[in-house]
Amino acid sequence: MKKTKANQIFLTIGATLTWFAVVLQFYLIIINRVESVLETIIRYFSFYTILTNILVALALTVLLLKPNSRWGNFFSRANVLIAITIYITVVGALYNLILRQIWNPEGLQRIADELLHVVTPLLFIIYWSIFAPKSGLRWKNAFPWLIYPFVYAVCVLSRGALSGFYPYPFINVNTLGYRMVLLNSVGLFIGFFLLSLLFIATAQVLNRSERLKTNNI
């Protein structure tokens, strides 16, 4: 992991903005709740966007404050950083390609939405591109990266079957039925996998480019 002044500044800005967005969204969902506080909190943590932004915030914070700790070593690994980059890229892609069209937030909610779905994904992609290690990544790494979205889907669909609440319209069994939700889920997993392959290819190109620059110095 590159340890430069620019790296520290990037980590500080990224961690601050991401934690602010997560806390702001929590505040907004609480004050605008239509269910009990407990149910509202459970629903808050049912969103892939929230869980992934928290993951990003944790990674950036640990890398900033405790880079040499056990967790710092974990989050600085090439395969971990690229996986997080893929997860947060999906957040931005799904929102801007699908979900942005179905509602129009205003005020503080608009700020929270843009931070969670645009600013944080872009910042982390840039951070990964510039500062993250990229050596040692293989095509087979894409398979274990599917565990996170798979566990998320199982948990959300299982709870939805009991509570009737589904955080996203494309996995809403109440309106789409299980067959369509299953097809949508398969499509999303394929998208995850293809995006993983794209990032691995990008990492290999960037890694080769960096090695060539180093050899020419």
Q: Tens of pLDDT along 110-122? A: 999 999 999 999 9
Task: Collect all residues with Cβ–Cβ distance below 8 Å to 12 and sequence separation of at least 6.
Answer: 64
Q: Tens of pLDDT along 49-106? A: 999 999 999 999 999 999 999 999 999 999 999 999 999 999 999 999 989 988 888 9
pTM listed for this prediction = 0.93
Residue 87 burial (C-beta neighbours within 10 Å; 0-12, 13-18, 19+) = buried
- Is the predicted pLDDT of residue 216 greater than 60, yes or no? no
